[in-house]
Amino acid sequence: MTVVTTELLRRFDVSGPRYTSYPTADRFVEAFGEQEYVLALQQRRLGSVGKATPLSLYVHIPFCESLCYYCACNKIITRHPERAEVYLRYLSREIDLHTAHCGVGQHVSQLHLGGGTPTFLSDEGLRDLMSMIRRSFTLVPGGEYSIEVDPRTVDEQRLALLAELGFNRLSFGVQDFDPEVQKAVHRVQPAEKVFALVESARRLGFQSVNVDLIYGLPRQTPESFERTLTQVAQLRPDRIALYAYAHLPERFKAQRRIITAELPMASAKVSMLAQGLDIFKNAGYVYVGMDHFALPEDALAVAKRQGRLHRNFQGYSTQPDCDLISLGVSAIGRVGATYSQNVKTLDEYYDAINQGHLPVVRGLALTKDDLVRRAVIMALMCQGEVLFQPMEESWLIDFRSYFEPELEQLREMARQGLVEVGDEAVTVTPMGWYFVRGVAMVFDKYLQADRNRVRFSRII
């Protein structure tokens, strides 16, 4: 693995999108609504007649028992489980509204429950949710069925239930094992509990266990975070997601409870990332891309080696590029050449469904230029290379002419050792792979036209 110095990390620490989609969600418009989304669903149904077109499902469960101060997710803090029971009834109705347009029994190869805290749901609630999904969709053998887990809300018995319901992948939210950091972000969970849960997950036969970490949190220091990184390396989850904390209190109310003076300096954040790269490399992990690490035998690392890596709203994936139907408040989906997002509040969500409407509030119908640039950006983000000829044949363009300004910008990155610009391809170098977001940003027409990037997190 290429050695990444703190100097390089500092040089390329700029703001930019994570490219779980292109165009990014901040470009969605309210002119795209339910009518346009229904048309996309109907076109999908017509296009899949006689063939099992792959489909992903995402379900957003917004409820949490307590507030984590760093959180930027759409969540509802409550200790009233009956609120989730009402929400599940509306999810069932939203599913029925979908299948009325796209048909019952479509094959699903990827399911993800996110939030909020999906494990806020009771055992009965989880059973009901999976029952309604299986009633309307066909979960195919060998698919990826994952759920985000707050370690404070589960024990081995609950993990056994998740396995029984068909989940084969777990993602534990750890963030940091240091007790002082946990207090500062209002998320106290002993390391011993996480170790015990991961061991239980292995006994129960889950195919993959992921651990989420965040660097840049209040009271973190390079020394304290090194201890957490070492503990995670000892825990040895199949996958690790190492995210940078983006402090945006003007946008996310929960973050206003964080004491700004307790946040680490930018130089300390860079040191923490460098430590993570070094410790996980020495522990045998493959750097998949951006924030993700995986053990060499994990499906994600295998997909990267074989050039089969994909990217969607949940991040890197082994599943083929496919439509994504998203359910629940604020959920973002992709069907055909469109993106859509649901309303963000429960009242709006319930009101739309009570009126018999899909709760879509905004979205985007992609232009040909959007589709071309999406193909280029995803090729860079997933394969680290864009071959000109296949792009020209697929999109009927002359790549060098179409992207002449972008190729000129890349020449500076080539001089810095991040990319190689040849006659037939743009290739991200081993060093450039650590800054692939910055390379992809060159092809983002919207970002190049609008230099106001404060809405995005830092690359580092």
Looking at this protein, which amino acid is placed at residue 369? D
Closest among 97, 105, 91 to 136, alpha carbons compared? 105
CA distance 304 to 384: 10
Average pLDDT per block of 10 residues along the chain, 460 residues long = 65 77 93 97 78 85 95 92 96 97 92 95 97 96 94 96 97 97 96 97 97 96 97 97 91 94 91 92 91 94 89 80 93 95 97 98 97 95 94 96 96 91 94 88 88 55
**pLDDT score, position 51:** 57
Neighbouring C-beta atoms of residue 426, cutoff 10 Å: 26
Residue spans of the domains in the chain: they are 1-23+368-460, 25-325
**pLDDT score, position 460:** 57
**pLDDT score, position 117:** 95
CATH number, domain 1-23+368-460: 1.10.10.920
**pLDDT score, position 434:** 82
Q: Which residues are annotated as a binding site for [4Fe-4S] cluster?
A: 64, 68, 71
Topology alike, domains 1-23+368-460 and 25-325: no
Strands 239-244 and 208-215, bridge-based pairing: parallel
CA distance 391 to 84: 46
Residues facing 208 on adjacent strands: 169
CATH topology of domain 25-325: pyruvate-formate lyase- activating enzyme (3.80.30)
CB 2 within 8 A of CB 441: no
Q: Which residues are annotated as a binding site for S-adenosyl-L-methionine?
A: 58, 70-72, 115-117, 148, 175, 187, 212, 246, 332
CB 222 within 8 A of CB 275: yes
Distance of CA 324 to the CA centre of its chain: 13
Q: Which residues are annotated as a binding site?
A: 58, 64, 68, 70-72, 115-117, 148, 175, 187, 212, 246, 332
